[in-house]
Structure 1
Amino acid sequence: MQSVTINKSISKNIDSTNQNSRIILFDNTLPSGINENRVLSVNGYLKGLKAYANITSLAEAPIPAIELTDTDQDKIIKVLNIEWGNERIGLDLQFSENGTNFITLGSVSLINQQGYPFRNYSLLDFYTDSIAAEIGTNGVIACEVKDQGYGKLGAGDVLSVYGSVTQEIVFNEFIVSNDVDENTISLDAATSTPVVSASTIRTGLTIFNDSTEKVYLGYNSLVDNTNYSIPLSPNKGYEFPQPIYTGAVYAYSVNASVLQVSEFFYVI
């Protein structure tokens, strides 16, 4: 087995224009362009999740009146009374194992705290008591704004949810049976030309520039000598890395040129 790690950022702005829908923060499905036939599992690790809120549409909530004689429990109760006993907007933290059926793991109270222009909230604790929350294959984390009797986000309110996740894609490096399709592709001058079509059963792809012209490879038909992903010098080849890209590939050269293409497939 082999694995590939992909680090991703979470950055969602929530306001009065999108607050009436569930906000997907992370969808632990296989990224596009990776051959799903070789994938054994897709593991997601939520490593950080926080929220920034600047709420001005609600009446100010007072600062908790903490006394020197208060016990730790007294302090907690006073803080909770401020959080949940004043005008507030709810933010539910949700999880789904399949992207369809969501459960609520907890909620935070968004308030307009007296004396402070904004508040920060730590949200990772709703998903784990460890340093990272493990999200299984096809698992989804989301949030949803809730009306607690005082309305939802107003036009001037700001709510941002941000964090980081890591995807670990585990795939089988052994291929039992393969087939190869070898083609010669002629490129007309200054024309974007399809090299290979998308294929979910592709296991390997090598493209060799069999000409004296520089060739530019890209992943859509807009590829040219200024908009490209892979430059290919004359008499040089490029082998696509694993896990293999399964989308379409296009090529462009200023003058006419020739490519030798070897595409490998599962035998089904």
Structure 2
Amino acid sequence: METIAVNKTIAIQIGASNQGNRIVLFDNSLPSNIPSEGIISINGFLKNLKAYSKITSLASAPIPAIGLEDTDQERLIKIMDIEWNNPRIQVDLEISNDGSNYITLGSVSLINQAGYPFRNFSLLDFYTDGLAAELGSNGKIACSVKDVGYGKLASVDALTIYGSVTQEIVINDLLTNNEAIPTTKNLLAATNTLISNASNKAGLTIFNGSNEAVFIGYTATTNNTDYSIRLSSGKGYEFPVPVYSGNIYAYSVNASTIQITEFRSV
């Protein structure tokens, strides 16, 4: 197996011209410059996600009137009241496991905060309470700008979402660096040469699709009492790497059929 790490930067500006539809922030699909052959899995790790906003189209929201004697809960209530009960633009944070169906995980409120020229938000917490949020193959994260009664982003407003993500792509290098040779071997009721000797064997799997037990060995005397591997009907075996380069033999008490896939370096 081989793992390729691809680091990507998220940097998306959202404004009046592109806020009409859902905005995909990261799509955990295979990068276009990596061939799809032999891909086992694509794992995405969202490591950082933040937002910058500068809202001037809305009436300004006052600074919370927090007193020295206010409890922590009272302070939080006053801050939340400013955030959610003033003219605002809402941004929903979303996730999808298939690229089509999205679930909203939370929202942020964009306001014109008095005394602050701009605001910053940490968005990673909506997706995980750990160091990174993991996405499976074809998973996506996105956001949507919502009108909650005060309109959407105007041309004078600015919203930027930025962050970083790493894709870990696992590849079966048996398939990418070698030639796969599938064959079906009809075994006589005797000792048969299953695989001839070859120095470029990179991998070997066998599957017994017959109704007979098949006995595998490394000598021409292989039989049902002198063998290395016994394959019952419907069972398979993957030879350990490095694969034995000499002849490999199979014995069957009655005629049978076995499926073989060789991987040879090219």
TM-score bin, normalised by smaller chain: 0.5 to 0.7
Aligned pairs (5 A) from 1:68-217: 68-175=68-175, 178=179
Aligned pairs (5 A) from 1:17-56: 17-56=17-56
Q: Secondary structure at the match of 2:78?
A: helix
Distance 2:148 2:178 in 1: 59
Per the alignment, residue 60 of structure 1 pairs with 60
- After superposing on structure 2, the runs of 4+ consecutive aligned residues of structure 1 that deviate more than 4 Å are none
Alignment identity in percent?
A: 61
Distance 1:101 1:127 in 2: 16
Superposition deviation, residue 173 in structure 1: 1.5
The CA deviation string for residues 196-241 of structure 1, in whole angstroms up to 9 with x for no partner, is xxxxxxxxxxxxxxxxxxxxxxxxxxxxxxxxxxxxxxxxxxxxxx
Superposition deviation, residue 34 in structure 1: 1.8
The CA deviation string for residues 146-178 of structure 1, in whole angstroms up to 9 with x for no partner, is 001000001100000000000000111213962
- Residue type of the alignment partner of 1:120: N
The CA deviation string for residues 70-127 of structure 1, in whole angstroms up to 9 with x for no partner, is 1111111111000001000000001011110011100000000001110001100000
Distance 2:118 2:82 in 1: 16
- Residue type of the alignment partner of 2:23: I
Distance 1:8 1:34 in 2: 15
Per the alignment, residue 202 of structure 1 pairs with none
- Residue type of the alignment partner of 1:173: D
Distance 1:132 1:177 in 2: 35
- Residue type of the alignment partner of 1:104: T
The CA deviation string for residues 20-58 of structure 1, in whole angstroms up to 9 with x for no partner, is 111110000001132222111000000000000000000
Q: Secondary structure at the match of 1:144?
A: strand
Distance 1:53 1:106 in 2: 17
Distance 2:116 2:33 in 1: 46
Name whichever of 29-38 and 6-15 sits farther off.
Answer: 29-38
Distance 2:34 2:109 in 1: 40
Per the alignment, residue 13 of structure 1 pairs with 13
Q: Secondary structure at the match of 1:163?
A: strand
RMSD of the TM alignment (CA)? 1.9
Per the alignment, residue 239 of structure 2 pairs with none
- Residue type of the alignment partner of 2:179: N
Could you tell me which runs of 5 or more consecutive residues in structure 2 were left unpaired when the two chains were aligned: 181-263
Distance 2:53 2:178 in 1: 55
Q: Return the TM-score normalized by structure 1.
A: 0.65
Distance 2:131 2:25 in 1: 18
Distance 2:169 2:89 in 1: 37
The CA deviation string for residues 6-29 of structure 1, in whole angstroms up to 9 with x for no partner, is 100000000001111111100000
Q: Secondary structure at the match of 2:174?
A: coil
Could you tell me which runs of 5 or more consecutive residues in structure 1 were left unpaired when the two chains were aligned: 180-265
Give the total of aligned pairs. Answer: 182
